[in-house]
Amino acid sequence: MKEWKRPQLPVPYPLVVVVSGGDKPNPSPYIFYGQFNEHPVVIGIGIKEKRFTYKLIKETGDFTVNFVSREMLKMVDRAGFVSGWRQEKSGLFSWRRSSVIKSYFIDGAPLAMEVKFLREIPFTDHILLLGEVVKIWVREGVDGRAFVLSSYSEAGYYRVGDLLERWGFSRREP
């Protein structure tokens, strides 16, 4: 074993989308993501205060979280490489209007969640934005394995999705 000096732990790679400039979505990938409550579902993203996406979430009071397919990965990479402060990015994807919130979600995403902003918790270099999931969309024909098709760690994208076991497998009789 060796010490890992500055780990970028493997995480699912959703795409956070907010509305900017009226009806123009601003897609930005965020690796600091997690679910923090079940009833209601509360999710959180870690974001730097200087980011354009942070400003938009604070203005609109909502955002969407989109889990993307392998085919969308190149556009996700492009969305993360360019700042919304410098370039309009709505042309990277096809969009669908959300039914409960203002922000759009990616048309064809395996899973998309409409999220209302709840509160923020500041840390040293990121802010944790918490939001309540108010609507979940699942693409037709998609099962649970497609929700996390990619993971990000140490500046690389990785395939995820093989079922190893079902929950409770350790309780089965030998």
In a domain, 3, yes or no: no
Q: How do residues 25-74 score in pLDDT, each as one tens digit?
A: 999 988 788 889 999 999 999 999 999 999 999 999 999 998 887 788 88
Closest listed residue to residue 108, CA positions, set 79, 134, 80, 70: 70
In a domain, 1, yes or no: no
Which CATH number fits the domain that encloses residue 68? 2.30.110.10
pLDDT (0 to 100) of residue 170: 65
In a domain, 75, yes or no: yes
Given a cut of 90, whether residue 81 has pLDDT beyond it is no
* Encoded amino acid at 89, one letter: K
pLDDT (0 to 100) of residue 8: 60
* Encoded amino acid at 93, one letter: F
Q: How do residues 12-32 score in pLDDT, each as one tens digit?
A: 667 677 776 567 899 998 878
In a domain, 5, yes or no: no
Range of the domain at 143: 11-171
Backbone angles phi, psi at 112, to 5 degrees: -135, 135
In a domain, 31, yes or no: yes
pLDDT (0 to 100) of residue 12: 66
In a domain, 104, yes or no: yes
In a domain, 102, yes or no: yes
Three-state SS string over the chain comes to CCCCCCCCCCEECEEEEEEECCCEEEEEECCCEEEEECCCCEEEEEECCCCHHHHHHHHHCEEEEEECCHHHHHHHHHHHHCCCCCCCCHHHCCEEECCCCCCEEECCCCEEEEEEEEEEEECCCCEEEEEEEEEEEECCCCCHHHHHCEEEECCEEEECCCCCCCCCHHHCCC
The first and second tokens of residue 21, run together, are: 């400039």
In a domain, 35, yes or no: yes
pLDDT (0 to 100) of residue 144: 56
Number of domains present in the structure of the chain:
1
The conformational region for residue 107 under phi > 0 = left, psi -120 to 50 = alpha, else beta, is beta
Residues contacting 117, CB < 8 A, separation 6+ = 57, 58, 60, 61, 62, 63, 129, 130, 131
Q: How far apart are CA 81 and CA 95, in angstroms?
A: 20
| Range 90-108 average pLDDT | 92
